[in-house]
Amino acid sequence: MSYSEIYKNAFAELKKYYPAAFFTCAVGVLLTSGLHQLKEFIYRAVTAAAGHNIGLLLMILLVYLAASIGVYFWSDVIFAGEAKFFMQAKSGEINTRNLFWFLNGRENAVKVLWRKYIHIFLATLMLVIPGVIAEYDLILVPYMMCEDPDMPKDRAFEISENAMEGYKWKCFVMLLQFYAITVLELIIAFLLRENMIVVYVVLYIISTIAQPIQLAVMQEFYEFMKGRIFAAAIDINEEEGKTEYTVTEEVIEVYSSGNDDEHNDRILSVTSDDLTEKIM
């Protein structure tokens, strides 16, 4: 599937439930970027009030760093909730409460998402490029955890890494225009830096408009990658000596349809009989 097809399908699907998607993303942005901006505002105000008190400034800095880590952890969980909304909406179930999917006995999924963030953070400490690679290696993890919240961390990481082999750069290019929007936001923030309230409002509006499109595109990408995800799961099971597989009918349909992996030497094509034999 080409980039143009992914975008075409994403826009076609998004039209069916755009009001609910817009509301979900508006709340999601408020709970992530909004909290981040509030944290920055409080930090600046408190730092200015602290003056030249070194001890107090160090304490403020430690609290700021802890708050930053907490906001990023929280952002990953909210993003997974947004992904859950788009995943369910594509199948016909439009429920904005999916944004808070993690509140219903999803402790394992939340832990996996936090460990994903820690993994990417540690990779970024080495160098920026390893951090970016780690981000794209694990980009499918939130979607897989939405479908199987009890999946172990090691398995989720390994499946995502194997499925994204040969697709990290392609995914980066696919999302390039959204990074351009981020650059635009930074330019606006710089130009309007004298009036931070206006900056927050403008950035919130831009993010709320762009995010439904980005998430719809990522949902189509995930649908396209399901064949590779299933293939990676089979390979891992075979390496572990397992012969039984639990898959959804939707994944079976994608995998058994015989998709040629045009960007990789590996061809994901099996017949329904072969797939049934593997599963049984």
Reduced DSSP (H G I as helix, E B as strand, rest coil) percent helix, strand, coil of the chain, to 5: 80, 0, 20
Contact 48, 254 (CB under 8 A): no
Angle, vertex CA 101, rays to CA 95 and CA 107, nearest 5: 170
Q: What is the pLDDT of residue 133?
A: 92
Q: What is the pLDDT of residue 259?
A: 45
Q: Which two tokens stand for residue 120?
A: 């990417």
Alpha carbon distance 246, 144 (integer Å):
14
93 vs 128, residue with greater confidence: 93
Contact 212, 25 (CB under 8 A): yes
Mean pLDDT, rounded, for 147-169: 91
pLDDT digits (tens, 9 = 90+) for 179-220: 898 898 889 888 887 787 888 888 889 889 999 999 999 999
Alpha carbon distance 172, 3 (integer Å):
11
- The CA-atom distances, in angstroms, between 178 and each of 8, 36, 110, 169, 277 are 16, 19, 26, 15, 42
Alpha carbon distance 143, 218 (integer Å):
10
Q: What is the pLDDT of residue 172?
A: 93
Contact 59, 76 (CB under 8 A): no
Does an H or E element contain 23, and which? Answer: helix 18-50
Please state which of the ranges 81-85, 121-125, 262-266 shows the lowest mean pLDDT: 262-266
**Which residue, among 39, 120, 132, 43, has the nearest Cα to 76 in the 3D structure?**
120
- Residue 224 CA to its chain's centroid (Å): 15
Contact 226, 260 (CB under 8 A): no
Alpha carbon distance 143, 149 (integer Å):
10
Mean pLDDT, rounded, for 17-24: 93
Q: For residue 268, which phi and psi values (nearest 5 degrees)? A: -95, 85
Query: Using 50, 70 and 90 to split pLDDT, how confident is the model at 18?
Result: very high
- Whether residue 88 has pLDDT greater than 80: yes
